[in-house]
Structure formats: structure tokens, C-alpha cells
Amino acid sequence: MEEIFIKKMIKQHLSQYHFTPEEPEAESIYRMLMDRVQQRRETDDSELYEMIEDEVYSFITNA
């Protein structure tokens, strides 16, 4: 359930930057960002929302 929520939040943040990945690339991008969020959760005690926002921003600015 949490994974679905994280994926939904990632999609929302990506759309704020007017970025909508196309299939089949979309699922690999969502998975990569979800993995990065999960890794940060292990070492970072920030709010989940902030972590997702940071990871999406990092992806967008480096893409």
C-alpha cells in the first residue's frame, strides 16, 4: 500500500514539472525513484513527502 502511495506522489511531483514519461520507460523511472526514496528512508529521518520531492527534483534537474 505504501509503495502505491509513493508512486502516486512521484507521479504528482513529476507532473508539476510538466514531465510525463512514456511507456515502457515510465515504469523504470518510477521504480528508480521509489528505490531512491526507500534508500533515503533507511538513513534519513526527513518527512516522506520531502524525500519524494527532493528525489524528483534531483531527477528532473539531472535528466
63 vs 6 pLDDT, higher one: 6
- Give the model confidence (pLDDT) of 19-55 as tens digits: 989 988 999 999 999 999 999 999 998 899 999 999 9
pLDDT of residue 63: 59
Q: How many CB atoms lie within 10 A of CB 49?
A: 10
pLDDT of residue 1: 79
SS3 22: coil
What Rg do the C-alpha atoms of the chain give, in angstroms? 11
SS3 48: helix
CB 13 within 8 A of CB 56: yes
